[in-house]
Amino acid sequence: MRRYIIRRLIQAIPTFLGITILSYALMTASGNPVRTLSFRPGRTPDDMERLAARLGVNDPWPVQYVRWLLGDDWMRRDTDGDGIADTAIIIELDADGDGEPDPPGTRRGVLRGDFGNSFVAGRPVIDILTERFPATLELSIAGITLGALIGIAIGIIAAVTRGGMFDNVSRVIAVAFDAIPSFWLSIMLLLIFSVQLNIFPIGDRCGFTLEPSCPPIYQRLEYMVLPVFVFATGFIAAYSRIMRASMLDILNKDYILTARAKGLTNRSIWFRHGARNAMIPIATFLGPAITSLLAGAVIIERIFNYPGVGSTALNAALQRDFPVVMATTIYAGLATIIGYLISDMLYAAIDPRIRFE
């Protein structure tokens, strides 16, 4: 298993580089961020040119990509737009609001842990994502866990009561959860439970507080009920249908019939002998689900005003904040690679017949 994991991680390196190259090319093709950042009365074309030079977006995108990946402390470039290569520095934006560019600094590149500063906020990108990551993590983990537990349980019960009322109702609900768009469901729940009934808050992660961070989860559960439920509906629909189909196939196996002939209880047959083998397709689905720790939370975070990585990535894309966009791309790419690796590891954990050596 250890050799397999190491081999998979080595194989993931070219995949990861390919993701970053393609993402950077598409990002730069979306437009020049200077037009968004310099939307200010009195800004002259010379000012825009100097700003582009400070940000390093006036070079061809392959040069920008290499500088983003490897840093700029080994090269010289024009940082003031006068056509002459200066010292290897990047002058950052005005992060403190004093009307002047902040002191210059050097970039060490992503491969050395330096994601640069945000074009808009003027702050280190890693600090911005670190602040937003706990909100996305608690929302996503709660949604995936709730969806998996409820979906798997529904799938098992629906399989063993095939053709009954519970089976038929659960399948209709699963199709409905899968078909309803998350943004529509989010808005409807806010209108019903927050605006009309006033049971849950209308949004945000916690109430107004003078503290720099929100209180513990157990003190703000009412803020998580609606977004977590919306996040979990898709997983409930998928897990219940996959588990039902897999369980129906398992219940017809010879070892299940043998267990019945031995007089084992239904609970032991369903959960001890049947459910474990039926979980293999669930492991296949769980890997890509980890990617939704970012991607699946974008719409939900936006509607519920949840200050997570997803909403931050969306705002960065709209504002052409290249460093933040690329940092979230790395986050999503790594989540995808690790997710599929976890799926393969779960195969061996669930089915002892599977070996990777």
189-239 pLDDT, tens digit per residue, is 999 999 999 999 888 888 776 666 788 888 888 999 999 999 999 889 989
pLDDT at 96: 40
Q: Name residues of the chain where pLDDT drops below 70.
A: 1, 36-43, 73-107, 209-212, 287-288, 290-296, 348-357
Same domain membership, residue 312 and residue 207: yes
Q: Do 275 and 150 reside in the same domain of the chain?
A: yes
Q: What integer pLDDT is reported at residue 357 of this predicted model? A: 56
| Sign of the dihedral defined by the CA atoms of residues 66, 70, 71, 76, in that order | negative
Give the range of the structural domain holding residue 272, as residue numbers without chain letter. Answer: 125-350
> How far apart are alpha carbons 185 and 165 in whole angstroms?
25
Residue 173: the pLDDT is 92
**Is residue 14 in a domain?**
no
What's the confidence (pLDDT) of residue 88? 43
Residue 17 CB-half CA count within 13 A: 9
Cα distance between residue 147 and residue 153, in whole Å: 10
Assess whether 214 and 338 both reside in one domain: yes
Q: What is the Cα–Cα distance from 140 to 284, expressed in whole angstroms? A: 18
Q: Examine the domain organization and report whether 68 and 185 are in the same domain.
A: no
Residue 47 sits in the same domain as residue 162: no
Task: Give Cβ neighbours of residue 199 (< 8 Å, ≥ 6 apart).
Answer: 193
The pTM assigned to this predicted structure is: 0.76
Mean pLDDT score of the chain = 79
| Contact predicate 239/147, CB 8 Å | yes
Q: Residue 215 domain-assigned?
A: yes
Q: Is the residue at 266 inside a domain?
A: yes
Domain check: are 44 and 72 in the same one? yes
Same domain, 320 and 173: yes
- Distance CA(211)–CA(209), nearest Å, equals 5
Please report the pLDDT score of residue 265 as a whole number: 81
Alpha-carbon distance of 145 to 245, in angstroms, equals: 21
